[in-house]
A = this chain, B = another copy of it.
Amino acid sequence: MTVLKPAQFLMIPGPTPVPPAILEILARHPIGHRSTEMSAIIGDVTQQLKELGETEADALILTGSGTMAMEAAIINTISPGDKVLCLVNGVFGARWVKVAQAYGAQVVTLESVPGTAIDVDQLANHLAQDKDKSIKVVIVTHNETSTGVMNDIRRIAHLVKKHGALSIVDAVTSFAAVRIPIDEWMVDVLVTGSQKALMLPPGLSIVFFGQRAWAAQATAKTHKFYLDLARCKKSSDANTTPFTPNVSFICALQKSLQLIKEEGISKVQNRHLTMKTMLRAGLRSMGLKLLVDDENASPTITAILPPGKITVAEIRKALKEDYNIIVADGQEDLQGKIFRIGHMGYVFERDILMTIACLDAILKKMGHANLSELSISAALQAGLKTNEQSVK
């Protein structure tokens, strides 16, 4: 006997749910990558991405994952031996240290405890001490996926610009969910991936590359070919790509950008804010502790400490078995210490309420004292307040 189950629902920080209209496009037959139809789509997608990022920088579409796009950002701006400052407050921040080191950069780090944000004043001090301006590039993760902390990119990028260095921002789990006016914030390079707030499966990534970055690119001596962004730009300017791209995903991305435009960019961003406040209020009313304080909490990922003697593994297993909802474990040092709920892209208040209710139910079953009526009410009230504030 096979038991019928509801479809698996991903509340992890990517892959995230994909809208039916996008899945339908993925099921279409690929068109020729050198066709006029494809060029029109590449041209449109590029333009839409620039609008979404509020930027005049080039928006280059790469076939590969977000890590690959971050590697592209790094190797197109540095030469072996260059000094790179990595701002690290979690697993992804630490990954960029490894990438920069793998390409021969001289890496220095400024670290914050995972779960807290990068201390911008400390960064200012650090840069002030770099009197000979030896730091060429500063790499920072906007939304640290491993903890659900948002770093203050606006202030960080301003400081970096003032210092005369280049900023590379990993916005993989924030772009489209959060407003990032790339030019106004003076970000030089910004990277994102398809499988987060852009609502596609994983497989495509985007690098925004600005004027000052191109100046660095012209002299950067790191070996590269597939990820040579000058080559990508030359093709992009002609509405094509240097190598066969993921045609299906670029067509799907066009649909995604259209859906975002139709909902309205600011509404998409308010929806993420509302989901965050609803989820946090609901979780707290169950007596759960959150890893990140309200000020620095991400609108797309929430990290939660398991209550009492209940383990993360038990919570994840029960949510999967009883309700087919998938949430993520902590990573590396935080494995088993937190669980993470992703709420980005094609996720709605309905899904937040469902997750709170199901989490409530399984915790009750495990003997955690709580009342579901309270958690749902708390979530609804928090949502109401956030919506009111957004309207103002």
- Residue numbers of A with Cβ under 8 A of B are 7-8, 10, 12, 14-15, 17-18, 23-24, 26-35, 63-68, 71, 75, 80, 98-99, 102-104, 193, 195, 201-204, 222-226, 228, 243-249, 326, 328
Given A102-B224, A102-B228, A226-B67: A246 in contact with B32 (beta carbons within 8 A):
no
Q: How far is the CB of A235 from chain B (nearest CB, A)?
A: 12
Task: Name the contact of A27 in the complex, choosing from B26, B35, B203, B226 (C-beta under 8 A).
Answer: B26
Q: How far is the CB of A189 from chain B (nearest CB, A)?
A: 16
Would you give 7 A-B contacts (Cβ < 8 Å), ordered by A?
A14-B244, A15-B32, A65-B245, A67-B225, A67-B226, A99-B225, A203-B248
Q: Copies of this chain, how many?
A: 2
- Establish whether residues A26 and B26, one from each chain, have CB atoms under 8 Å apart when the complex forms: yes
Task: Name the contact of A247 in the complex, choosing from B15, B75, B243 (C-beta under 8 A).
Answer: B15
The docked-state distance in angstroms from the alpha carbon of A247 to that of B203 is 8
- Establish whether residues A23 and B32, one from each chain, have CB atoms under 8 Å apart when the complex forms: no
The docked-state distance in angstroms from the alpha carbon of A77 to that of B334 is 36
The docked-state distance in angstroms from the alpha carbon of A3 to that of B80 is 58
- Establish whether residues A29 and B35, one from each chain, have CB atoms under 8 Å apart when the complex forms: no
The docked-state distance in angstroms from the alpha carbon of A31 to that of B326 is 10
Q: How far is the CB of A345 from chain B (nearest CB, A)?
A: 12
Residues of chain B with a CB closer than 8 A to A202's CB = 30, 33, 63, 244-247
Given A223-B104, A226-B67: A17 in contact with B29 (beta carbons within 8 A):
yes
Residues of chain B with a CB closer than 8 A to A222's CB = 223
- Establish whether residues A193 and B23, one from each chain, have CB atoms under 8 Å apart when the complex forms: no
- Establish whether residues A244 and B30, one from each chain, have CB atoms under 8 Å apart when the complex forms: no
Q: How far is the CB of A303 from chain B (nearest CB, A)?
A: 16
Residues of chain B with a CB closer than 8 A to A102's CB = 223-225, 228
Residues of chain B with a CB closer than 8 A to A12's CB = 32
Residues of chain B with a CB closer than 8 A to A32's CB = 8, 10, 12, 15, 326
In this complex, which of A23, A27, A35, A103 has the most chain B Cβ atoms within 10 angstroms of its Cβ?
A27
